[in-house]
Structure 1
Amino acid sequence: MPARRGDKWEGRLKIGGQVVSTRRFETKRAATDWERRQRSAFDEHGYDPSRGKVAVEVLLNAWLEQREGRVSRTTLNTDRYLLPTRGQESGRAGTEPVLPIWFRKVHVGKVTGAAISTWQDGLLARGLAPTSVKRHRESLSSFFAWCVSEGYIAANPVKAAAPPKDRRAREDMRPLPSHEFDAVVAQLSEISEVYADLVRVLGRTGIRWGEARAILVRDFIEMPMPVLHVVRNQPEGTAAAKTPKSGRGRRVPLPDALVPVLRRFADGKRPDDLLLTRPGGGQLHRSMFVRQTGWSDVGRGRTLHDLRHTAACEWILRGVPLTTVQAWLGHGSIEITARYLHHLGDSADRSALQLLNGGSAGHARPPRPAAGVILG
């Protein structure tokens, strides 16, 4: 049973009448739960708390060695970020390792959920994106899961800490108006016709970059109507494609103007080949695209994800129902799609603006979109 120690409660694991492990908690219940988990692990696996008196970095090296050949090269490279490189060990500026020295030196049996949270907060304070912190968290969780299976610890401490939350201010969407979108495509055509076609597809289908990287030739269907079947997503740095963000596939109808564009991408390829590829073939890579096109200038300061917003706003301006836009974008809820109405205003707003601009109440019409718009 837990014992009172000042203002805290001390959980104790006894084996053979000897206290072999202790830990202090704020509440008696937390101490009791810890005792129960420790005892359960010992009874099931013969877990010996004394085995946890090994520094994290020592076991990390052993874990990485046995990972070689068992996981993909991409996963292994991500796992290796947990340990510092030679340059980081020498204290070179700007090369602070993912796991700080205080974490690497602590015994694995002493790592708590609170320590995991402190480590995550430290990475966020250094400016790492929450998505990057989550990737490092997944690597660390795999490591501690291995420690559990090897009998070094009773439970994975990563599971006791909440994942990091993205508390950064959300940037406003910045879709390209029709005339600017056409200008961007025209400028890209002077650099690379393939990349110009790629932007045409992204800006008029609303598919995500990761989805574009994973679409196959057989996902482009022309009969009975031309559509893209979006069933895979492969963000940069992942070894294999997975389901789209919503967890399910979707169909995106294609306007007539996009059909010859996609035929050019499909020309000479087999059904299971990637459809949207870079000049000369090969899978799309964001950094390569940005570098080779000078996207920071050519794209008018927009991100590649703004091309998805461009498609959605164009559909709404053309009168496509919001529920249809939701289905084409693959949003899990209509509330997510409705943010475009906050950006554009709904049809009532546009009709009212027409009145203010000189129309009559009986003949108010929504403004006609600029010429040259391709509807997706």
Structure 2
Amino acid sequence: MINKTGSGKWRVRVKSKGEVVADQTFERKADAALWEAKQKRALMLGEFVDPRDGKETLAAAIDRWMTSRAGSVASKTLQTEGYALRAHIPPKLGHRPIASIHSADLDALYGNMLRSLARPTVMRFRNTLSSFFGWAERNRLIQNNIVLESRVPRGRGQDHHLEVFPFDLAGLRRVHQATVTASPSQGNLTLVLGLSGLRWGELVALRVRDLQSLPYPVFRVSRSAPDGQPIRTSTKGGATRTVPLPGELAELVVPLATGRNPNELLFTSPAGGRLNGPNWKRAVDWSANCEGRRVHDLRHTAATLWLTNGVDPKTVQAWLGHSTATLTLDTYSHWIGTDGDAAAVARIDALLDLGRADVRAPRPPDIDFSM
């Protein structure tokens, strides 16, 4: 129903089952008729979104979305995504009704982020936004996921990655020995993490039957157990993967599974229960023995050992459980040397050695030609 108001504007009221479900005013009658037709079509197709629901602010809707996901995703993922949304959505945009947000607003937001962040970071932020707006669409707060219409432009901003600080092999063995000395029953987990590349939560969730022997010893990684959270039947990457074990690690791990129930946890606390990160770090005196690294740097250690010793990036991606080889290369590319690098360094070393030889060579005596 379209009526002209006393001010000369055009008011549209859309009814469903005798009740007004949408009410809006327009400057032009043509705009009013177009909006009315759109609402009626949505009602007929069962796609109608009550405009009153769309008045919820973007910030409030995001808070509801985050709350609804608690317990269904890893707590660290929830924390990371929540931080990104709070840090990058400006208050002015967050206070607007969710239905008033358009793809152009998001395009402008991405452009602003690219002034200080690298494009991959902005792309991850866009993916998080898309998950949120998809939820809003399913819950009839908006008619469609506007993120799908937005695009992240090309940019060269500086990203702020947490530094990758792996051990070299000698350092890994040194820290492994120190943690074994501190706790003979728990210290070997340092080597397990440093040679398998597992995340802590993935190691904690491994069962005896996840250690498989054919055609060679592997970990079958399909679960995760972040500290303080129930065991989840998925990994951070969302897919099951297989991680081969080098001989040294197989010799250490295979005896742990002998004669045990397949569904028991493979690695346990000294009391036989589930491992806990803070307790394990205290047991092995990690703060004193870690040489300034985090436990997660053991995962980086495995990745860099593989890459610097010729394992191709696509294989490393699969072993780490990364979503793409691009992510693997973005994280570890500066650790991958090439034959060209080695040849160039050899030439520079030869030049420097020649220069040192020239300096060390005795100077011939001066000859007086005046005689």
Q: Give the whole-Å Cα distance in 2 for the aligned partners of 1:131 and 1:265.
A: 43
Q: Could you tell me which runs of 5 or more consecutive residues in structure 1 were left unpaired when the two chains were aligned.
A: 1-9, 82-95, 122-128, 359-376
Choose from 324, 342, 345 the match for 2:334: 342
Choose from 14, 21, 26 the match for 2:24: 21
Q: Which moved more, 1:206-215 or 1:194-203?
A: 206-215
For residues 160 and 347 of structure 1, do their structure 2 counterparts lie closer, same or farther at Cα, with a shift above 3 Å needed? closer
Q: CA deviation at 1:196?
A: 1.7
Q: CA deviation at 1:180?
A: 1.8
Q: CA RMSD in A?
A: 5.8
Q: Give the whole-Å Cα distance in 2 for the aligned partners of 1:155 and 1:202.
A: 44
TM-score calculated relative to the size of structure 2: 0.57
Q: CA deviation at 1:304?
A: 2.8
For residues 40 and 136 of structure 1, do their structure 2 counterparts lie closer, same or farther at Cα, with a shift above 3 Å needed? same
For residues 72 and 191 of structure 1, do their structure 2 counterparts lie closer, same or farther at Cα, with a shift above 3 Å needed? same
Choose from 177, 188, 200 the match for 2:168: 177
Q: Give the whole-Å Cα distance in 1 for the aligned partners of 2:10 and 2:185.
A: 64
| Count, aligned residues | 316
Structure index of larger Rg: 2
| Residue identity (%) | 25
Choose from 219, 244, 258 the match for 1:228: 219
Match of 1:272 in 2: 263
Q: Is the 8 A contact 1:14 1:21 kept in 2?
A: yes
TM-score calculated relative to the size of structure 1: 0.56
Q: Give the whole-Å Cα distance in 1 for the aligned partners of 2:90 and 2:302.
A: 44
Q: CA deviation at 1:130?
A: 9.2
Q: Give the whole-Å Cα distance in 1 for the aligned partners of 2:74 and 2:163.
A: 36
Q: Could you tell me which runs of 5 or more consecutive residues in structure 2 were left unpaired when the two chains were aligned.
A: 1-8, 80-85, 112-120, 351-371
Q: Give the whole-Å Cα distance in 2 for the aligned partners of 1:250 and 1:159.
A: 33
Q: Give the whole-Å Cα distance in 2 for the aligned partners of 1:153 and 1:47.
A: 9
- Give matches, 1:1-376, under 5 Å: 15=14, 20-21=23-24, 38-45=39-46, 47=48, 49=50, 51-52=52-53, 73=71, 144-145=136-137, 147-148=139-140, 154-155=143-144, 168-233=159-224, 240-242=232-234, 245=237, 247=239, 249-255=241-247, 257-263=248-254, 265-266=256-257, 269-290=260-281, 293-318=284-309, 320=311, 325=316, 327-330=318-321, 332-333=324-325, 336-337=328-329, 340=332, 342-350=334-342, 353=345
Q: CA deviation at 1:211?
A: 3.1
The residue type paired with residue 241 of structure 1 is T
Q: CA deviation at 1:242?
A: 1.8
Q: Is the 8 A contact 2:126 2:147 kept in 1?
A: no
